Amino acid sequence: MKDACVFAFLLLIIAAVLGAAYVQPQWATELGLDFWNLPEVCETMHESLQTRAELEELIMETLQRMALRQEIVDELLSNRLTFAEAAGKFKRLNRPTTIPRLLEYAYPGMSPDEACCRNMIDVILKDRRVVSDPDAETRLHRALEQLRADGNGMIQLPD
């Protein structure tokens, strides 16, 4: 008898919930009881997981590119690379990404190669070894102007 009463009570509760869900479907949605939308929820979850994987891949690529960029700066600052060689490496490193478009925005009116050089200079000037060197910026801009002179007024980096 007690089991029958509990069962009847549960049926009454379920009927009340289903009735409320029918009359006010947004209540069921707000409470997460809209099981009829489960396929949509699963699809959204799958898309979110896919987006997360893509973002994680982009983050890893960005971190690798930052590490390679730092290696180039290290080689330039230790005189194992010339300014032109380092800028060429920056250019190749940026090529498969959206960075060239960002450089157009950051350095308007400049050729892609000059924008790449100026980006490299900006990165170098933030390096802790260069921050305390008051002549570093002047030397870097002289190297850029020498590159322009060597290219007869145009900055042309190797591909």
Per-residue model confidence as pLDDT tens digits over 74-124: 999 999 999 999 999 999 988 877 788 888 899 999 999 999 999 999 999
Quote the pLDDT of residue 117.
94
Element (DSSP H or E) covering residue 21: helix 2-23
Query: What whole-number distance in Å separates Cα of residue 44 and Cα of residue 40?
Result: 6
* pLDDT at residue 35, rounded to an integer: 64
Most confident of 7-21, 35-49, 76-90: 76-90
Mean pLDDT of 32-42: 68
Output the average pLDDT for the chain: 85
Amino acid (one-letter) located at 127:
D
Higher pLDDT, 145 or 3: 145
CA dihedral (104, 108, 113, 114) positive or negative = negative
Whether 22 has a pLDDT exceeding 70, the answer reads no
Q: What is the pLDDT of residue 36?
A: 61
